[in-house]
Structure 1
Protein backbone atom coordinates (compact mmCIF):
# COMPACT_ATOMS: atom_id res chain seq x y z
CA UNK A 1 0.00 0.00 0.00
CA UNK A 2 1.46 3.29 -1.07
CA UNK A 3 0.70 6.37 1.04
CA UNK A 4 0.68 9.84 -0.44
CA UNK A 5 1.65 12.63 1.90
CA UNK A 6 0.12 16.08 1.67
CA UNK A 7 2.15 19.02 0.46
CA UNK A 8 1.33 22.59 1.27
CA UNK A 9 -1.30 23.85 -1.17
CA UNK A 10 -2.06 20.31 -2.36
CA UNK A 11 -5.65 19.09 -2.52
CA UNK A 12 -4.65 16.10 -0.39
CA UNK A 13 -4.54 17.97 2.89
CA UNK A 14 -5.54 16.85 6.35
CA UNK A 15 -7.78 19.83 7.03
CA UNK A 16 -11.53 20.26 7.43
CA UNK A 17 -12.07 16.98 9.30
CA UNK A 18 -12.87 14.91 6.20
CA UNK A 19 -10.05 12.39 6.43
CA UNK A 20 -6.85 12.30 4.39
CA UNK A 21 -7.98 13.55 1.01
CA UNK A 22 -10.80 15.92 1.78
CA UNK A 23 -14.39 15.72 0.61
CA UNK A 24 -13.78 13.45 -2.37
CA UNK A 25 -12.77 10.66 0.02
CA UNK A 26 -15.35 11.34 2.74
CA UNK A 27 -16.84 7.84 2.52
CA UNK A 28 -13.56 6.10 3.39
CA UNK A 29 -12.49 5.74 7.03
CA UNK A 30 -8.85 6.65 7.58
CA UNK A 31 -7.59 6.00 11.07
CA UNK A 32 -9.51 6.79 14.21
CA UNK A 33 -11.57 9.70 15.45
CA UNK A 34 -13.94 11.72 13.34
CA UNK A 35 -12.06 10.80 10.14
CA UNK A 36 -14.83 10.79 7.55
CA UNK A 37 -16.35 14.09 8.58
CA UNK A 38 -18.52 12.57 11.29
CA UNK A 39 -19.24 14.11 14.65
CA UNK A 40 -18.28 12.86 18.09
CA UNK A 41 -21.18 11.16 19.77
CA UNK A 42 -22.20 13.28 22.73
CA UNK A 43 -24.43 11.77 25.35
CA UNK A 44 -26.21 13.81 27.95
CA UNK A 45 -27.22 13.28 31.53
CA UNK A 46 -30.87 13.92 32.42
CA UNK A 47 -31.58 17.32 33.96
CA UNK A 48 -32.53 17.40 37.63
CA UNK A 49 -35.09 19.81 39.06
CA UNK A 50 -33.58 22.39 41.39
CA UNK A 51 -33.68 21.46 45.08
CA UNK A 52 -36.16 23.26 47.33
CA UNK A 53 -34.88 26.14 49.45
CA UNK A 54 -32.83 25.02 52.44
CA UNK A 55 -32.01 21.59 50.96
CA UNK A 56 -28.43 20.33 50.76
CA UNK A 57 -27.81 18.35 47.56
CA UNK A 58 -25.11 15.67 47.75
CA UNK A 59 -23.83 13.69 44.77
CA UNK A 60 -21.64 10.58 44.85
CA UNK A 61 -20.17 8.24 42.25
CA UNK A 62 -21.52 4.78 43.05
CA UNK A 63 -21.19 1.24 41.73
CA UNK A 64 -24.92 0.43 41.60
CA UNK A 65 -28.35 1.98 41.92
CA UNK A 66 -29.21 0.82 45.45
CA UNK A 67 -29.46 4.33 46.89
CA UNK A 68 -27.85 4.78 50.31
CA UNK A 69 -26.73 1.12 50.30
CA UNK A 70 -24.64 1.62 47.14
CA UNK A 71 -20.84 1.44 47.55
CA UNK A 72 -18.74 4.41 46.46
CA UNK A 73 -17.09 3.61 43.13
CA UNK A 74 -13.30 3.65 42.81
CA UNK A 75 -13.78 5.87 39.72
CA UNK A 76 -15.40 9.29 39.78
CA UNK A 77 -16.46 10.27 36.29
CA UNK A 78 -16.56 6.76 34.85
CA UNK A 79 -18.64 5.29 37.67
CA UNK A 80 -21.71 3.39 36.45
CA UNK A 81 -24.09 5.51 38.54
CA UNK A 82 -24.22 8.92 40.16
CA UNK A 83 -26.45 8.97 43.21
CA UNK A 84 -27.96 12.31 44.21
CA UNK A 85 -29.22 12.71 47.78
CA UNK A 86 -31.24 15.68 49.00
CA UNK A 87 -30.93 16.43 52.74
CA UNK A 88 -33.05 18.79 54.80
CA UNK A 89 -31.92 19.49 58.37
CA UNK A 90 -29.93 16.26 58.37
CA UNK A 91 -32.81 14.09 57.13
CA UNK A 92 -32.80 12.34 53.78
CA UNK A 93 -35.78 13.55 51.77
CA UNK A 94 -34.89 12.21 48.33
CA UNK A 95 -32.47 9.67 46.84
CA UNK A 96 -32.07 9.27 43.10
CA UNK A 97 -29.58 6.99 41.34
CA UNK A 98 -28.89 8.10 37.77
CA UNK A 99 -27.10 5.98 35.20
CA UNK A 100 -23.93 7.74 34.11
CA UNK A 101 -24.29 7.98 30.33
CA UNK A 102 -21.12 10.07 30.12
CA UNK A 103 -18.91 7.24 31.43
CA UNK A 104 -18.12 5.86 27.98
CA UNK A 105 -16.80 9.14 26.57
CA UNK A 106 -13.38 9.33 24.99
CA UNK A 107 -11.92 12.18 27.01
CA UNK A 108 -13.01 15.07 29.16
CA UNK A 109 -15.49 12.89 31.03
CA UNK A 110 -14.58 14.37 34.41
CA UNK A 111 -15.24 17.90 33.24
CA UNK A 112 -18.54 16.86 31.61
CA UNK A 113 -19.71 15.21 34.83
CA UNK A 114 -18.52 18.21 36.84
CA UNK A 115 -20.47 20.60 34.63
CA UNK A 116 -23.57 18.43 34.95
CA UNK A 117 -23.18 18.44 38.74
CA UNK A 118 -22.96 22.24 38.71
CA UNK A 119 -26.06 22.52 36.53
CA UNK A 120 -27.84 20.19 38.99
CA UNK A 121 -27.10 22.57 41.91
CA UNK A 122 -24.99 20.07 43.86
CA UNK A 123 -23.48 21.42 47.10
CA UNK A 124 -21.31 18.44 48.13
CA UNK A 125 -19.52 15.82 46.00
CA UNK A 126 -18.40 12.52 47.53
CA UNK A 127 -15.76 10.63 45.55
CA UNK A 128 -12.66 8.49 46.07
CA UNK A 129 -10.46 10.85 44.02
CA UNK A 130 -10.83 13.58 41.41
CA UNK A 131 -8.76 14.71 38.49
CA UNK A 132 -7.10 18.12 38.69
CA UNK A 133 -9.39 19.84 36.18
CA UNK A 134 -12.70 18.76 37.69
CA UNK A 135 -11.36 19.42 41.18
CA UNK A 136 -10.50 22.98 40.17
CA UNK A 137 -13.90 23.43 38.50
CA UNK A 138 -15.81 22.30 41.59
CA UNK A 139 -13.64 24.28 44.02
CA UNK A 140 -14.03 27.48 42.02
CA UNK A 141 -17.80 26.98 41.96
CA UNK A 142 -17.87 26.63 45.75
CA UNK A 143 -18.80 22.94 45.80
CA UNK A 144 -17.51 21.06 48.85
CA UNK A 145 -15.52 17.99 47.78
CA UNK A 146 -15.19 15.10 50.24
CA UNK A 147 -12.77 12.25 49.56
CA UNK A 148 -13.82 8.86 50.96
CA UNK A 149 -12.37 5.37 50.41
CA UNK A 150 -13.92 3.37 47.57
CA UNK A 151 -16.31 0.65 48.71
CA UNK A 152 -17.74 2.73 51.56
CA UNK A 153 -21.53 2.64 51.56
CA UNK A 154 -23.04 5.99 50.61
CA UNK A 155 -25.23 6.16 53.74
CA UNK A 156 -22.21 5.54 55.98
CA UNK A 157 -20.19 8.18 54.14
CA UNK A 158 -22.94 10.78 54.54
CA UNK A 159 -23.28 10.03 58.28
CA UNK A 160 -19.49 9.93 58.73
CA UNK A 161 -19.12 13.37 57.17
CA UNK A 162 -21.75 14.76 59.54
CA UNK A 163 -24.20 15.60 56.78
CA UNK A 164 -27.06 13.50 58.20
CA UNK A 165 -28.14 12.06 61.51
Structure 2
Protein backbone atom coordinates (compact mmCIF):
# COMPACT_ATOMS: atom_id res chain seq x y z
CA UNK A 1 0.00 0.00 0.00
CA UNK A 2 1.15 3.54 -0.77
CA UNK A 3 -0.01 6.82 0.71
CA UNK A 4 0.37 9.68 -1.74
CA UNK A 5 -0.12 13.37 -0.92
CA UNK A 6 -1.01 16.05 -3.44
CA UNK A 7 -1.32 19.80 -2.84
CA UNK A 8 -4.60 20.77 -4.47
CA UNK A 9 -6.25 24.00 -5.65
CA UNK A 10 -9.95 23.48 -4.98
CA UNK A 11 -11.81 21.38 -2.47
CA UNK A 12 -9.53 18.39 -2.98
CA UNK A 13 -10.34 14.90 -4.12
CA UNK A 14 -9.45 12.90 -7.21
CA UNK A 15 -11.09 15.34 -9.65
CA UNK A 16 -9.30 18.40 -8.26
CA UNK A 17 -6.09 19.74 -9.83
CA UNK A 18 -2.50 19.90 -8.60
CA UNK A 19 -1.70 23.29 -7.10
CA UNK A 20 1.07 25.43 -8.56
CA UNK A 21 2.70 25.75 -5.09
CA UNK A 22 2.63 22.80 -2.72
CA UNK A 23 3.46 24.76 0.42
CA UNK A 24 0.64 27.25 -0.15
CA UNK A 25 -1.93 24.90 -1.71
CA UNK A 26 -5.33 25.39 -0.03
CA UNK A 27 -5.80 21.64 0.52
CA UNK A 28 -3.71 18.50 0.76
CA UNK A 29 -5.37 15.45 -0.74
CA UNK A 30 -4.16 12.16 0.76
CA UNK A 31 -4.75 9.11 -1.44
CA UNK A 32 -4.23 5.52 -0.28
CA UNK A 33 -3.49 3.09 -3.11
CA UNK A 34 -3.31 -0.70 -2.74
CA UNK A 35 -0.58 -2.89 -4.23
CA UNK A 36 -2.59 -3.26 -7.45
CA UNK A 37 -2.73 0.53 -7.91
CA UNK A 38 -6.40 0.78 -6.91
CA UNK A 39 -7.48 3.82 -4.89
CA UNK A 40 -8.86 2.59 -1.57
CA UNK A 41 -9.24 5.85 0.38
CA UNK A 42 -9.18 9.60 -0.26
CA UNK A 43 -9.05 12.28 2.42
CA UNK A 44 -8.85 16.03 2.04
CA UNK A 45 -7.07 18.08 4.69
CA UNK A 46 -6.67 21.81 5.17
CA UNK A 47 -3.08 22.85 4.50
CA UNK A 48 -1.73 24.83 7.47
CA UNK A 49 0.90 26.30 5.13
CA UNK A 50 -1.73 28.00 2.97
CA UNK A 51 -2.14 30.92 5.36
CA UNK A 52 1.23 30.81 7.13
CA UNK A 53 3.22 34.03 7.18
CA UNK A 54 6.43 32.02 6.82
CA UNK A 55 7.61 28.44 6.67
CA UNK A 56 4.65 27.34 4.56
CA UNK A 57 6.37 24.36 2.99
CA UNK A 58 7.64 23.13 6.37
CA UNK A 59 4.08 23.22 7.74
CA UNK A 60 2.76 21.37 4.68
CA UNK A 61 5.50 18.73 4.89
CA UNK A 62 4.72 18.20 8.57
CA UNK A 63 1.21 17.14 7.50
CA UNK A 64 2.75 14.53 5.17
CA UNK A 65 4.95 13.18 7.93
CA UNK A 66 2.04 13.07 10.41
CA UNK A 67 -0.10 11.25 7.83
CA UNK A 68 2.62 8.73 6.96
CA UNK A 69 2.85 9.68 3.28
CA UNK A 70 5.27 7.68 1.12
CA UNK A 71 5.25 10.25 -1.68
CA UNK A 72 4.22 13.80 -2.49
CA UNK A 73 3.31 15.04 -5.95
CA UNK A 74 3.59 18.62 -7.20
CA UNK A 75 4.81 20.77 -10.09
CA UNK A 76 8.17 21.59 -8.46
CA UNK A 77 9.86 21.47 -5.09
CA UNK A 78 12.48 23.98 -4.03
CA UNK A 79 15.83 22.97 -2.55
CA UNK A 80 14.64 23.36 1.06
CA UNK A 81 11.56 21.22 0.44
CA UNK A 82 13.61 18.58 -1.37
CA UNK A 83 16.11 18.41 1.49
CA UNK A 84 13.38 18.03 4.11
CA UNK A 85 11.49 15.43 2.08
CA UNK A 86 14.67 13.43 1.52
CA UNK A 87 15.47 13.55 5.23
CA UNK A 88 11.93 12.37 6.04
CA UNK A 89 12.18 9.62 3.39
CA UNK A 90 9.19 11.00 1.44
CA UNK A 91 9.59 10.61 -2.34
CA UNK A 92 8.85 13.81 -4.27
CA UNK A 93 7.51 13.49 -7.80
CA UNK A 94 6.80 16.24 -10.29
CA UNK A 95 3.83 16.67 -12.60
CA UNK A 96 2.65 19.81 -14.41
CA UNK A 97 0.47 22.16 -12.38
CA UNK A 98 -3.18 21.74 -13.27
CA UNK A 99 -2.83 17.96 -13.66
CA UNK A 100 -5.86 16.12 -12.30
CA UNK A 101 -5.16 14.50 -8.94
CA UNK A 102 -6.26 11.13 -10.32
CA UNK A 103 -3.63 11.37 -13.09
CA UNK A 104 -0.96 12.58 -10.65
CA UNK A 105 -1.62 9.61 -8.37
CA UNK A 106 -1.41 7.19 -11.31
CA UNK A 107 1.96 8.72 -12.28
CA UNK A 108 3.16 8.44 -8.68
CA UNK A 109 2.16 4.78 -8.49
CA UNK A 110 4.08 4.05 -11.71
CA UNK A 111 7.15 5.83 -10.36
CA UNK A 112 7.01 4.14 -6.95
CA UNK A 113 6.70 0.73 -8.64
CA UNK A 114 9.73 1.45 -10.82
CA UNK A 115 11.78 2.24 -7.70
CA UNK A 116 10.90 -0.96 -5.86
TM-score range, shorter-chain basis?
0.7 to 0.9
CA contact (8 A) 1:110 1:131 kept: no
Partner Cα separation in structure 2 for residue 81 and residue 114 of structure 1: 12
Give 1:57's aligned residue: 3
**Structure 1 segment 3-152 matched on structure 2, within 5 A:** 55-89=1-35, 90-152=37-99
- Output one character per residue of 1:130-160: Cα deviation in whole Å (capped at 9) or x when no partner: 2222210111221110011000001112223
Where structure 1 has 5 or more consecutive residues not aligned to the other structure, the ranges are: 1-54
Q: Distance in 1 between matches of 2:3 and 2:107?
A: 16
Q: Which runs of 5 or more residues in structure 2 are unaligned?
A: 112-116
| Deviation at residue 66 of structure 1 after TM alignment | 4.3
Q: Comparing both structures, which one devotes a greater share of its residues to strand?
A: 2
* CA radius of gyration, larger in: 1
More helix per residue: 2
Misfit runs of 4+, over 4 Å: none
Name the SS of the counterpart of 1:139 in structure 2: helix
SS at match of 1:111: helix
Aligned residues: 110
The TM-score, its normalising length taken from structure 2, stands at 0.86
